[in-house]
Amino acid sequence: MNAITRKPEAAPRLASAPLPALKTPSRFAPLLSRVLPPALVVLVLGLAWQIAAGSSGATLPPPSQVWSDSRELILDPFFDRGGLDKGLFWHLAASLTRVFEGFALSAVVGIALGMLVGTSAFAMRGLDPIFQVLRTVPPLAWLPLSLAAFREAQPSAIFVIFITSIWPIIINTAVGVRNVPQDYRNVAAVIRMNGLSWFWQIVLPSAAPYIFTGLRIGVGLSWLAIIAAEMLIGGVGIGFFIWDAWNSSNLSDIIVALFYVGITGFVLDRCVALLGRLATRGVAAS
């Protein structure tokens, strides 16, 4: 009698447990990822500064002393008691006014000269060596000549800003014009594009990322130049405020002013970078 083969029984199925719900990332996660790291670094540096400056023999005030010495300056930057006794807002406003005037002039002239140098081989051979020599002159070296020429502090400071920030604008604009792709040039030659259309539709859009790179460098140099120039020409301005605080041996006010200077310079750079992204549809480097 043949052995009866039995079909193996199927293993009992386990009840499927519900999968845990996946946590969706918070909408604040990108913001925290950008804000938290620098905030932690600032906190660590502040603690290190407090420990180092709070020890015996330290010559710089710790953050706690800066707060106690310059609390009014920090909490009320808008006070105006007449003369030079003003809050930091008014000093920054005076400095930014000079920067905007000098930088706007350098942007117009610099882009025009950069276009000329980039499109004309003769202009490049004639002007480029002069530009390379003049751009190495330190900003403050121009101040005595500007004071002798204009005999007033305001136009002298604007000239120093102009002559300091124009060189990266010229050089980057010229490089951008020379780097227009050859394919664009060939297409323009085939369709017989006139000079004005070639400039507005081909050259300017292609060179725009380079132009805004030069503008970002230029606005940074403008801010550096005005701080140094105002230390010498006097009057209302953040540079003069720092120099006056040094003469009064008020290191806490200097530290507060330097914080404002750094934040303002960062905002200026970000503004030009944002303008570049809008103008070039994200092509310009940020």
68-97 pLDDT, tens digit each: 888 888 888 888 888 778 889 999 999 999
Residue 31, token pair as written in the block: 């913001």
More confident residue, 82 or 268: 268
CA nearest to 155, candidates 164, 145, 146, 167: 146
Distance separating alpha carbons of residues 213 and 110, to the nearest angstrom: 13
Domain 80-280 has CATH 1.10.3720.10: yes
How would DSSP label each residue in 59-78?
-SPPHHHHHHHSHHHHH-TT
- Classified as helix, coil or strand, 284 is coil
pLDDT of residue 284: 43
Tell me the C-alpha distance between 124 and 114, whole Å: 9
Listed in sequence order, the DSSP H helices in the chain are 29-53, 63-69, 71-75, 88-119, 121-134, 143-150, 153-178, 182-190, 195-198, 204-233, 238-247, 251-280
How far is CA 104 from each of CA 63, 96, 280, rounded to the nearest angstrom? 37, 12, 19
31-35, 54-58, 125-129, 187-191: range with highest mean pLDDT: 125-129
DSSP 200: I
pLDDT band at 12 (very low <50, low <70, confident <90, very high): low
Cα dihedral sign for 104, 105, 107, 111? positive
The one-character DSSP state at 86 is B
In this prediction, residue 18 carries a pLDDT of 59
Q: Which amino acid is at 204?
A: L
Predicted confidence (pLDDT) at residue 50 exceeds the cutoff of 80: yes
Distance CA 122, CA 154 (A): 36
**Res 113 pLDDT > 90:** yes
Longest dimension (CA), the chain: 127
Amino acid at 89: F
> Are the CB atoms for 207 and 118 separated by under 8 Å?
yes
pLDDT band at 26 (very low <50, low <70, confident <90, very high): low
pLDDT range class, residue 20, cuts 50, 70, 90: low
Q: What CA dihedral angle connects 128, 130, 135 and 141, to 10 degrees?
A: -170
Please report which confidence band the pLDDT of residue 285 belongs to, taking 50, 70 and 90 as the band edges. Answer: very low
pLDDT at 195: 67
Residue 199: the pLDDT is: 76
Amino acid at 79: F
Q: What is the residue-averaged pLDDT of the chain?
A: 84
Tokens of 36: 């938290």
Q: What is the pLDDT of residue 1?
A: 45
- Percent pLDDT > 70 in the chain is 89
Averaged pLDDT, 108-117: 93
- Alpha-carbon 136 to chain mean position: 21
DSSP assignment letter at 21: P
pLDDT per residue as tens digits for the range 119-172: 888 888 998 889 889 999 988 899 889 989 988 888 999 999 999 999 999 999
Q: What is the pLDDT of residues 177-226, one digit of tens each?
A: 888 877 777 777 777 777 677 777 788 888 899 999 999 999 999 999 98
Packed helices 153-178 and 204-233: angle between N→C axes, nearest 10 degrees: 160
pLDDT (mean) for 246-256: 91
CA dist., res. 238 & res. 95, Å (int): 6
| Distance linking the first and last C-alpha atoms of the chain | 88
pLDDT bucket at 98, cuts 50 / 70 / 90: very high
